[in-house]
Amino acid sequence: MTTSPFDLTGKLAVVTGAGRGLGQGVALGLANAGADLVLVGLPDSQTETEKMVRDLGRDVEVLDLDVSDHEAVAALGQQVSSDHQVDILVNNAGIIDRHDTVDVTPESWNTVLDINLSGLFFLTQHVGRPMVERGHGKIVSIASLLAFQGGIRVVSYTASKHGVAGITKALANEWGPSGVQVNAIAPGYMATDNTTALREDPERSRSILDRIPAGRWGTPEDIAGAAVFLSSSAADYVNGHVLVVDGGWMAR
């Protein structure tokens, strides 16, 4: 019997911010493909996903972490890598803060960059180190269309997501020779808490939908397939790529 190259049976995946939204969609997608999960996120935020993964028959562990706390990131990254052989890391946790650029405060800027960029980088560093030593591993970060475009009233988010694309390419160069693939997914406009303000604004919502050839907002399930692909041996020769999953927005 041949095994599907998308099969993740026996693999261990760490997913950040898996309690809701896209992180939950990714965690369930990986679990459906056979992976066991370590869910990493804010305290008491991941109980629902934990149960859903367990109901799929996979092993699941929940670890508390604020990814903006660099010391805690280092400790957790080292701990999870000594407790497990981590095959897959999905950096999903992220926030958005909407302001006119003239109103962005240092505090708001730093919070977004600490979570979306610095936290992502240092967790990748600590979980990636043993992958590099072992000679295999998959890292998948959730970027955004704002890794390519400017966006409106979200300059800190745009800076962070351009940074995620940069980290993805830099690490692909550095770790590719060691058998570790580093890629990202750029979701389009997805119906999660991240986009509530846009969906509640009838004008913005209509103008966004008008540009999406699929004619609808994306769902967490819509990015599960891309996450499984980039986490699997089917993507062994895919490295440093930012895969757009946007219902066709960028083609417009």
Ligand X SMILES: NC(=O)c1ccc[n+]([C@@H]2O[C@H](COP(=O)([O-])OP(=O)(O)OC[C@H]3O[C@@H](n4cnc5c(N)ncnc54)[C@H](O)[C@@H]3O)[C@@H](O)[C@H]2O)c1
With a CB cutoff of 8 Å and minimum separation 6, the contacts of 207 are: none
Does 190 bind ligand X (CB under 6 A)? Our answer is yes
Cα gap 192→189, rounded to integer Å:
9
Residue 85 or 216 having the CB closest to ligand X: 216
Give phi and psi for 150, each to the nearest 5: -85, -30
Tokens for 25, please give them. 């969609």
Torsion of CA 149, 153, 159, 164, to 10 degrees: -70
- Candidate list 12, 41, 141, 157, residue with the active-site label: 157
In this complex, which beta carbon is closest to ligand X, that of residue 34 or of residue 247?
A: 247
Cα Rg of the chain (Å, integer): 17
- Token pair, residue 103, equals 């109103």
Site mask for ligand X (CB under 6 A), range 5-34, x = bound: -----------xx-xxxxx-----------
Q: Kindly write out the interface string for residues 147-186 of this chain, putting x where it contacts ligand X by CB under 6 A and - elsewhere.
A: ----------------------------------------
Looking at the Cβ atoms of 20 and 136, the one nearer to ligand X is: 20
- 185: which strand partners? 142, 243
CA angle 150, 151, 155 (to 5 degrees): 75
- Angle CA(111)–CA(82)–CA(115) in degrees, nearest 5? 5
Residue 247 binding ligand X, by CB under 6 A = no
Exactly one of 45, 108, 125, 233 binds ligand X (CB under 6 A); that residue is 45
Q: Annotated catalytic, 157? A: yes
| Position among 115, 212, 224, 227 found at the interface with ligand X (CB under 6 A) | 115
Catalytic sites, residue numbers:
157
Q: Which residues here bind ligand X, judged by CB under 6 A?
A: 16-17, 19-23, 41-42, 45, 65-68, 92-95, 115, 142, 144, 187, 189-190, 192-195
